[in-house]
Amino acid sequence: MKNPQAIARLKTAEGHIRGIQRMVDDGAYCIDIIRQIQAVQGSLNKVSTMLLEGHLNSCLIGAVRGEDPDERERSLREIVEVFEAATKV
Domains of the chain in start order, with CATH, are 4-87 (1.20.58.1000)
Contact predicate 79/59, CB 8 Å: no
Q: What is residue 2's predicted lDDT score, i.e. its pLDDT?
A: 86
Is the model's pTM score more than 0.85? no
Q: Give pLDDT tens digits for 16-67.
A: 999 999 999 999 999 999 999 999 999 999 999 999 999 988 888 888 888 9
pLDDT of res. 89: 59
DSSP string, the chain: ---HHHHHHHHHHHHHHHHHHHHHHHT--HHHHHHHHHHHHHHHHHHHHHHHHHHIIIIIHHHHHSS-HHHHHHHHHHHHHHHHHHH--
